Each structure stands twice: as C-alpha cells, then as structure tokens.
Amino acid sequence: MNATELEILVNPLSKQRVYQVSRKIVFRKMDENKIAPERADKILDFVEKYVKKANSPKERRDFYLLLAKKFPELREIKSVLQSEFREKLDNFLSQLAEMQMCEGNLENAEQIMRIGNSRSVKVTEIERLMKENPGIIKLK
C-alpha cells in the first residue's frame, strides 16, 4: 500500500463531496452578501462542469486545490477538506494503534500513536511504518 492508496482508504473524497462543500461555501457567502448571485452561478457552473472530469482521488484533490486558487471565494475549501481528512486520519490511526495493542504489538502501536500525535502527520511516515511492518494494515 502506498501513500495514495492510504489516502483513498482513509478519506475517499468523492466528486459529490467536493461539489457539496463548494456549494455550501458559495451559498453562505451569498447569504452574507459577500458574493453576487451572478458570481455564485459562474463558480458553481465551473465546479459542476469540471468536477465530473476528476475521476481519481488525486484528481479530485488537485481540483479542490485549483478551486481555492482560481476562485478567492472558495479559498476555505482547502482547509475544510483537509480538516475532514485529518479527522478521518486521526480516527484511522487510533483504530490501527488499538488493533496493534490487542495483537500485542506495543512497539508498532507506540509508533502509530507518535505519528498521530504529531502536528503535521505525513502520509509518508505511515507509509514508512507500513514498509517496515508488512501486513500492519490489513484490508478487507
């Protein structure tokens, strides 16, 4: 399992989710009179048209990062979706550490908890742990 596969396992970001978050942000900004309805239509038309072409999780991630750059009104989409990923990753790591403790692999559990407690969890750290301990993550 590589970093991309792990990200898909932990956070299978869908086209629908990217569209939902974009829509929610745009409507909130319209309610706050920070964006005109015409601009909202233009943004949501773009999202609807191009999110369909983002077929892989990596493409969807690249797409929401593009949205944050292309439309200043959607800048916060990046933090919203990355926060969701972090929450899911924390949950995943907690479950993985607990599973390792139940199997008596306390050293692995400690490493996993250390990764989870760091401020900036890097998927590459988890990937390294998986390479050092083949089978640590068992997919059903």
Round the average pLDDT of the chain to a whole number and report it.
84
Residue located via tokens 């390479």: 131
Summarised one tens digit per residue, pLDDT across range 52-91 is 999 888 888 899 999 999 999 999 999 999 888 888 888 8
Summarised one tens digit per residue, pLDDT across range 26-41 is 999 999 999 999 999 9
Pair of tokens at residue 99: 């599973």
pTM above 0.75, yes or no: no
Extents of the domains making up the chain: 12-80, 83-132
